[in-house]
Structure 1
């Protein structure tokens, strides 16, 4: 069972919205279906009613990331447990898409589609995947991008727990902004030092007269 893969379900859903920028990609049933990467059968079951349901689950998943990012481990766990309780998983043995050299199924554990609606199924998979990541790597491995105004969610898989950005693009943008800020500060300090020196020289010259 690739639970690490299932944790990406949570990240994809949370990042379908950029609250600070006022952007929301989850505005149609087609957008909902796009979230089901590699699961066409589940995607086809999505209806217009799932748009609102997905948004509700998204808000709850973002709250988990916000709690983790803010250092409140207990709250993050409580929020995630609430999702796990409401959207239980349905594990099954499956052989789809995997065959050995003789064409026989390679049996493995799989989280089955939820019988009620696709939102419940997606939420169950996302919550279970996130729970696996949290318990395997730690609550502090759930983060929100520090490259303002981006606040996309990410899962830190670095060896030294050093990840701070959701993507290389945001990391580069933040580094460039920090470099420019340092240069402005250096220029301001240099200008201030120059003005102070000029003022001191004028004061000295006035005293000599």
Structure 2
């Protein structure tokens, strides 16, 4: 494990959230899809299931994606702004079947605020560990999805959308095409 368990879960949720905007194709299409996202990533607390909440979560994505595109100093500016705007006050909590972990906003804070602060808290760990190079953009042509490389040797190059398989198939086909015909 590269980071604490809750940090890795938060990073996975951030990646998944950012990638719901798939090069202009909207995957968070309605409040029910957002509710499924919230359930899948086990966000606790207030969830209104409204169009306004959906718009607020969608508006968060570009701010989070920017973290993958800038240098460390600007990452810190973004993270600090998210923490300030969310009025973050880190506390250890235990709920459901989770062991103690950090929450930095009250459970009744708006969902988008809790998502922003949770993402920022995860990025605090990434910055403090000097591991920003683990935040990557998929190398498959025309993909653009973000990923977090949690492999030991920092070798992950492709997102979870099948790009690694497509790259392997393309490489295989290129090798086959380069071989002389018998």
Does the pair score TM above 0.5? yes
Q: Which residue of 1 aligns with 2:114?
A: 121
Q: Which residue of 1 aligns with 2:22?
A: 18
Q: Which residue of 2 aligns with 1:173?
A: 166
Alignment of 1:48-197 (within 5 A): 48-67=51-70, 72-98=71-97, 108-111=100-103, 112-113=105-106, 115-136=108-129, 138-167=131-160, 169-184=162-177, 186=178
Q: Which residue of 1 aligns with 2:48?
A: 45
**For residues 178 and 120 of structure 1, what CA distance do their matches in structure 2 show?**
43
The alpha carbon displacement at 1:4 in A equals: 2.7
In angstroms, what is the RMSD of aligned CA positions? 2.7
The alpha carbon displacement at 1:40 in A equals: 5.4
TM-score (normalizing by structure 2): 0.79
The answer for unaligned runs of 5 or more in structure 2 is: none
Residues 90, 6 of structure 1: CA spacing in aligned structure 2 closer, same or farther, 3 A cutoff?
Answer: farther
Bigger fraction of residues in helix: 1
TM-score (normalizing by structure 1): 0.70
Q: Which residue of 1 aligns with 2:10?
A: 6
**For residues 44 and 101 of structure 2, what CA distance do their matches in structure 1 show?**
19
User: What number of residue pairs does the alignment pair up?
Assistant: 174
Q: Which residue of 2 aligns with 1:197?
A: none
**For residues 132 and 88 of structure 1, what CA distance do their matches in structure 2 show?**
18
**For residues 127 and 80 of structure 1, what CA distance do their matches in structure 2 show?**
5
Q: Which runs of 4+ in 1 moved over 6 A?
A: none
Residues 113, 45 of structure 1: CA spacing in aligned structure 2 closer, same or farther, 3 A cutoff?
Answer: farther
**For residues 77 and 91 of structure 1, what CA distance do their matches in structure 2 show?**
17
**For residues 34 and 161 of structure 2, what CA distance do their matches in structure 1 show?**
26
